[in-house]
Amino acid sequence: MLLLALPHPASAKPLANPFADNLEPHPGRLVLNLQMASLHEEGLGLAVGYMPWGFVEIKASYAYWTEHSVAGLLKFNILPRAHLTPYIPLGYSLRIAKLPYGLRLMTHSVFAGVGLQARFLERFFVGGELTANVGIMQQLKDKSEIHEFAPSERFNVRAGFLAGVYLL
């Protein structure tokens, strides 16, 4: 007969709370990260940001996959000193698709979302997010003419991923 030696429940250590405040408040004010999908639709690119306070980041991001995408956003970290923190990204994006015959389709949209970010080794982080993207205007530009389509019918929810480092 095989007997297993299990620890007594009274001697078991409680699990550490990943949302507990136990990291430095400012690992660095400059943020550099790889951003994939979510606010950029299918795009993959780079985001550069500045963190004036521990709970707010101001970012600019560029990505490319099938179209160029530029975004400006505010990221609100709910628990900035925790190993695991929820956050809220809010912002604006402009996507530019190059079409045949010199046409460009520009889609202006706003987004809001929720995410969860894990910080490790004090300066590095990874996270996942869901954003709701709402198109507010589409413009078709043909050399010297601009044809506007507003409002856009595009509304979607996208999942995304980010990984980065806090610098300086």
Span 102-121, pLDDT tens digits: 888 898 999 999 999 999 88
Chain centroid to CA 41:
11
Residue 129 has pLDDT above 80, yes or no: yes
Q: Are 44 and 160 in contact (CB under 8 A)?
A: no
Specify whether the backbone of 37 is left (phi greater than 0), alpha (psi in -120 to 50) or beta: left
- The neighbouring-strand residues paired with 88 are 76
- From CA 78, how far away is CA 157, in angstroms rounded? 21
- From CA 157, how far away is CA 100, in angstroms rounded? 28
Q: Which domains does the chain have, with CATH numbers?
A: 27-167 (2.40.160.20)
Residue-level pLDDT at 118: 94
Residue-level pLDDT at 124: 94
